[in-house]
Structure 1
Amino acid sequence: MAKLILNNVSKDFGTGRPAVSGLSLEVREGGFLALLGPSGCGKTTVLRMIAGFEAPSDGAIYLGERLLADSEKSLPPERRNMAMVFQSYALWPHMTVAENVGYPLKVRGVSKDIHRARIGEALDTVRLADYADRRPADLSGGQRQRVALARCLVTQPDVVLLDEPLANLDRHLRQEMEETFRDFHRRSGATMVYVTHDQSEAMALATDIAVMSHGKLLQVAPPEEIYARPEGRLVGGLIGRGAILSLALPDGAPRKIDWQALREGLDKPSPADRPMADVLVRPEDVHLSGEGLAARIRASLYEGERYSLTLELDDGQTLRAFSRHRPQIDEPTRVTITGAWRL
């Protein structure tokens, strides 16, 4: 295996705005990268260029030292040693599970002994060895998805590409399949690129998250870093929950802001000559406290183990917070904020 590298890649379909513009990133060997962003941001186009279904208009794609594509030439998909899993499982209904999994090997003319051994290994990896003789109609949606994963593995690909593979599953089955994907990645050691618009999926699965918007790459970082230290308002709003406050901060203020600086910025009128800063506040850092700033509870949503609150400060700005107890709407309260991040 080798590192997957996208160097200043662009794709223009001639619609007036590039679908992907100047995107550069590296997917480390054996890593699990989630391409995250809203619909139409270009993430599926990036995946299709990696797979070889689209050629870049500019830039280049490498797998280690091997050039896969640039603006002048592009290796066809079958010569890239990659496997792809789609939203629809694309299983042959008349074939058994083992026949579906082994079909790529049959096309390649692999010998029967190797064919049988690889099918067994792939089904073991996705824990479906006991289902080898069943047909897709006899399986659940999650089991069909695991058959599609096993079919990827038999060719021993350098990279596995996944295009919103959980989009057609219900919430309970998605959570179950997230565990399957984590286990699949750990057991197979494959490099994986996963397209999703669901930030909770990306946070749960990936070793790194690449956030995209309007065809551009905004930030690449591990989930913990991108949650705690997002770059820019769009990334801060897309990853996790929270509120973005606007307040005046002194020149040279650090990115990580403590309660004293926050209170001063919110409690006093903003100097006219001081620029305003966007500050991200996560709900777990907001605490109802008699020593804090005046606020009013504007909304409450019960989430099972807690209530999710929307709070309004005296200046009209809003915060998100959690509470173990049911509050009264429009009830006055006071809040302290234990930390925040300047975007």
Structure 2
Amino acid sequence: MARLILNQLGKDFGTGRAVVSGFSLDVREGGFLALLGPSGCGKTTVLRMIAGFETPTDGSVHLGERLLADAAQSLPPEKRNMAMVFQSYALWPHMSVADNVGYPLKVRGISGETYRTKVRDALGIVRLAEYAERRPADLSGGQRQRVALARCLVTSPDVVLLDEPLANLDRHLKQEMEETFRDFHQRSGATMIYVTHDQSEAMALATDVAVMSEGRLLQVASPAEIYARPEGRVVGGLIGRGAIVTLPRIAGNCRAFDRPVLEPLFAGAVAGTASGDRMDVLVRPEDVMVSGENTAAGEGIAAAVESVLFEGERYALKLTLADGQALRAYSRFPVRTGDSLRLSVRAAWRL
């Protein structure tokens, strides 16, 4: 296995506007990278350049010491020792599960006991050994996805590429398949790159998350790091359900603020008495503490409830401050739209 290196990748389809631009990334060997971003940001184009289905307009793709592609040349997909899982599964309906999984081996001329052993081992890893003789039509959506994973694994690829493979599954099946993907990664040891626009998938699955917007890479970090310390408004807005508010700027390099620092900043901003430079601050809903109407007069920050969404175990609130800025919060108790509340903010992150 070798490290995958993307060096200043760019792709222009001749429209005059680059779909991907200046994209540089080292994918750690054996890691699970989620490529996260909104639809149309270029993440699938990056995946297709890695796979060999698209040739870069600029930059290069390397696997260890091997040059896979640059603007002048591109190694064909079948010579890259990579495997790809598509959103549509791409299984042959007339073949059995075992034949679908073993097809890449047949293409490579592998047969006999070696063929049967590899197919059996691959099906064992995704826990489908007893379904070997069934047809895809006899399987559930999650089982078909596992067949596609086994077909990837059977050739011992250096890199497994996954293009929104859970997009067609319902919520409960998604959670089940997330467990399958994590197990698959641990058992196979392959480097995996997972394209998704769903941040919950990225956070649940990946060892590293790379956030894209408008063809550019904005930040790469572990899920916990990128959630707690996003860089800039775009990443802060894409990751999590936080709100970005503008407060009076504090001098210095400190970026993590706690309640004693935040209270006077919010008080000044909401009252309209603050002046001078401003800063953007990300506030997560779990860091907004909501109090009822019985809170002592003047205590906490006044807010009005703009909307309420019941999520089963809690209520998700959208709150409007006196100056029109919005915050999000959670409450364990019923709250009505239009209610007046008092709140405090215990932590925030400067973008």
- TM-superposed deviation, 1:65: 1.1
Deviation at 1:327, TM superposition (A): 1.3
Paired position in structure 1 for 2:316: 308
User: Partner amino acid for 2:283?
Assistant: V
TM-score, structure 1 length as denominator? Answer: 0.98
Answering whether residue 350 of structure 2 is matched by residue 342 of structure 1, we say: yes
User: Which residue of structure 2 lines up, in the alignment, with residue 280 of structure 1?
Assistant: 282
Which residue identity does 2:277 align to in structure 1? P
In structure 1, how many angstroms separate the alpha carbons of the residues matched to 2:253 and 2:328? 24
- Tell me what 2:155 maps to: 155
**Partner Cα distance (2:45, 2:236) in 1:** 24
1:202 alignment counterpart: 202
**3-state DSSP of counterpart to 2:300:** strand
Instruction: Give the match for residue 104 of structure 2.
Output: 104
Matched, 1:292 2:294: no
Deviation of 1:40 after TM superposition, in Å, equals 0.8
In 2, distance between residues paired with 1:262 and 1:64? 48
Question: Is 1:218 the equivalent of 2:218?
Answer: yes
Query: What's the offset of the Cα at 1:318?
Result: 1.1
The residue type paired with residue 212 of structure 1 is: M
Cα deviation, 1:100-120, whole Å, max 9, x if unaligned, reads 000110111113111000001
Alpha-carbon separation, structure 1, partners of 2:92 and 2:337: 55
Post-superposition shift, 1:29?
A: 0.6
- Structure 1 distance, partners of 2:324, 2:274, is 18
Equivalent residue number for residue 231 of structure 1: 231
SS at match of 1:39: coil
Residue of 328, 331, 337 corresponding to 1:320: 328
Structure 2 vs 1, CA of residues 284 and 271 (structure 1 numbering), >3 Å: closer, same or farther? Answer: closer
The structural deviation recorded for 1:212 is 0.5
Partner in structure 2 of residue 331 of structure 1: 339
Deviation, 1:297, is: 1.8
Could you tell me which runs of 5 or more consecutive residues in structure 2 were left unpaired when the two chains were aligned: none
Count of residue pairs the alignment pairs up = 342
Deviation at 1:254, TM superposition (A): 1.2
Residues 184-229 of structure 1: CA deviation (Å, up to 9, x unaligned): 1111111000001111111111111110011000000000000000
Q: Which 4+ stretches in 1 moved above 4 angstroms?
A: none
Alpha-carbon shift at residue 339 of structure 1 (Å) = 0.3
Tell me how far 1:138 sits from its aligned partner.
0.5
Distance 2:257 2:58 in 1: 41
Report if the CA contact (8 A) 2:36-2:210 is conserved: yes
Counterpart-to-counterpart distance in 2, 1:39 and 1:85 = 18
Give, as a single letter, the amino acid of the residue that structure 1 aligns with 2:330. Answer: F
Contact map agreement 1:248 1:270 (CA 8 A) in 2: no
Q: Secondary structure at the match of 1:149?
A: helix
Identity of aligned residues (%): 71
The answer to whether residue 41 in structure 2 is matched with residue 33 in structure 1 is no
Aligned to 2:113, the other structure's residue is in SS state helix
CA distance in 1, matches of 2:58, 2:88: 30
Matches of 2:341 and 2:77 in 1, distance apart?
A: 60
Secondary structure, aligned partner of 1:226: helix
1:253 offset after TM fit, Å?
Answer: 5.2
TM-score (norm 2): 0.95
C-alpha distance in structure 2 between counterparts of 1:318 and 1:271, whole Å: 18
Which AA in structure 2 matches 1:286?
V
Q: Deviations over 1:276-298 (max 9, x none)?
A: 11100000000013341111222
Residue type at the aligned position of 1:236:
G
What CA distance in whole angstroms lies between the structure 1 residues aligned with 2:253 and 2:8?
Answer: 33
Q: Structure 2: which amino acid aligns with 1:94? A: H
User: CA–CA distance in 2 between the matches of 1:226 and 1:286?
Assistant: 20
Cα distance in 2 between the residues matched to 1:51 and 1:266? 49
Alignment partner, residue 122 of structure 2: 122
Partner SS for 2:94: coil
Q: Does 1:247 align with 2:255?
A: no
